[in-house]
Amino acid sequence: MKRIFLLVATASCIAATSSVSQNDISAVSVQLPRKGGTKEVSLFCFQGEAGKVKEKGSTLTFTSLSEIVKLKKKAYKKDRSSKKKKQLQNAKKLYNASLGSCETTDSPTPTPTPGNQGTQNSYFDPQGNVTALGYDVFEIPAELSANAFLGQDVFEQTCAGCHEKRTRLTFPELRERISEEPMYFTEDEVPDEDLANLFAYLAVGRSPLRE
Ligand code: HEC
């Protein structure tokens, strides 16, 4: 069996919530994709990351969107309600939309790039999002967002216990395969939204030049 080993640098460790001063943060607006268009959302950047700022008394606290996704995931795991699920999905969408929006040009640490060369000729962009070409080849439904960095999380929680990271399959084939023996994952356990990110993670390293 062919196994693919790839190391993807993890998207850094982030403190849950930080106290910040007004001077450390800057406002940024991102376009959130929605049915029939986009919606503009205002966010804040702090140390190269997008997040939300709250005022508590006289202090400002910053929580990154990746942290918010983690919190929503925890909340959803607790009660599995459809409301919590929706909140988790919304948090992920916002996180995806924000990727790259807080990057500073003088950043000393380059972001890890699942994509190689130019985006046009790659299945991934530098933020780990699957490109239009990738959606085509991998047969990922267009309404799902697919990000390799988010998929790493899903992989570690759901799959890493049994095997390493790999796939040469398409999205529908992966859905089918994980529903079979010995995995038997249902769409409830691994929803499409998660599987799309997971798929992206598993497909990092695939390239149109090597298919
Ligand atoms: C309970 C252990 C277990 C878990 C958890 C698990 N798998 Fe598997 N998986 C297996 C076994 C066993 C096989 C069949 C033998 C093999 O191909 O290694 C397999 C096969 C596969 C295959 C087919 C491999 C091939 O080369 O044809 C894919 C793809 C796959 N798993 C993906 C996943 C994904 C994605 C997850 C997480 C959502 C996952 N698996 C979670 C045990 C597991």
Residues 35-74 pLDDT 10s: 777 777 778 888 888 888 887 777 778 899 989 989 998 9
In a domain, 158, yes or no: yes
Ligand 1 and 167: CB distance under 6 A? yes
**Atom 36, ligand 1: which residue's CA is nearest?**
159
H helices of the chain, in order, are 65-79, 82-98, 132-138, 148-158, 171-178, 192-203
pTM: 0.51
Judgement on whether residues 95 and 122 belong to the same structural domain of the protein: no
pLDDT band at 141 (very low <50, low <70, confident <90, very high): very high
**CA 163 – ligand 1 centroid, Å:** 6
Judgement on whether residues 129 and 209 belong to the same structural domain of the protein: yes
Instruction: Centre a 10 Å sphere on the Cβ of residue 142 and count the other Cβ atoms it contains.
Output: 8
Judgement on whether residues 94 and 183 belong to the same structural domain of the protein: no
**Tens digit of each residue's pLDDT (9 = 90 or more) over 2-28:** 444 433 333 333 447 888 777 777 777
Judgement on whether residues 90 and 141 belong to the same structural domain of the protein: no
Ligand 1 and 191: CB distance under 6 A? no
User: Which residue from 154, 162, 181 has its CB within 8 A of the most atoms of ligand 1, so it is best to mutate?
Assistant: 162
Ligand 1 and 159: CB distance under 6 A? yes
Judgement on whether residues 93 and 124 belong to the same structural domain of the protein: no
Cα–Cα distance for residue pair 50/56, rounded to 1 Å = 19
Instruction: Centre a 10 Å sphere on the Cβ of residue 118 and count the other Cβ atoms it contains.
Output: 8
Judgement on whether residues 36 and 91 belong to the same structural domain of the protein: yes
Judgement on whether residues 128 and 208 belong to the same structural domain of the protein: yes
Judgement on whether residues 177 and 125 belong to the same structural domain of the protein: yes
Q: Which atom of ligand 1 is nearest the CA belonging to 166?
A: 29
Ligand 1 and 160: CB distance under 6 A? no
| Max CA separation in the chain (angstroms) | 59
Number of domains in the chain: 2
Write the DSSP symbol of residue 99.
T
**CA 165 – ligand 1 centroid, Å:** 9
In a domain, 68, yes or no: yes
Judgement on whether residues 145 and 62 belong to the same structural domain of the protein: no
In a domain, 6, yes or no: no
Judgement on whether residues 100 and 119 belong to the same structural domain of the protein: no
H helices of 103-188, in order, are 132-138, 148-158, 171-178
Ligand 1 and 154: CB distance under 6 A? no
Both tokens assigned to 33: 């994709």
Domain that holds residue 55: 19-104
User: 73 with 60: CB under 8 angstroms?
Assistant: no
**Tens digit of each residue's pLDDT (9 = 90 or more) over 83-113:** 888 888 888 888 888 888 877 654 333 344 4
In a domain, 11, yes or no: no
Residue after which a domain boundary falls, among 70, 104, 138: 104
Ligand 1 and 190: CB distance under 6 A? yes
Judgement on whether residues 72 and 130 belong to the same structural domain of the protein: no
Cα–Cα distance for residue pair 15/210, rounded to 1 Å = 39
Q: Which atom of ligand 1 is nearest the CA belonging to 158?
A: 37
Does a cis peptide bond (omega within 30 degrees of 0) precede residue 208?
no
Judgement on whether residues 93 and 121 belong to the same structural domain of the protein: no
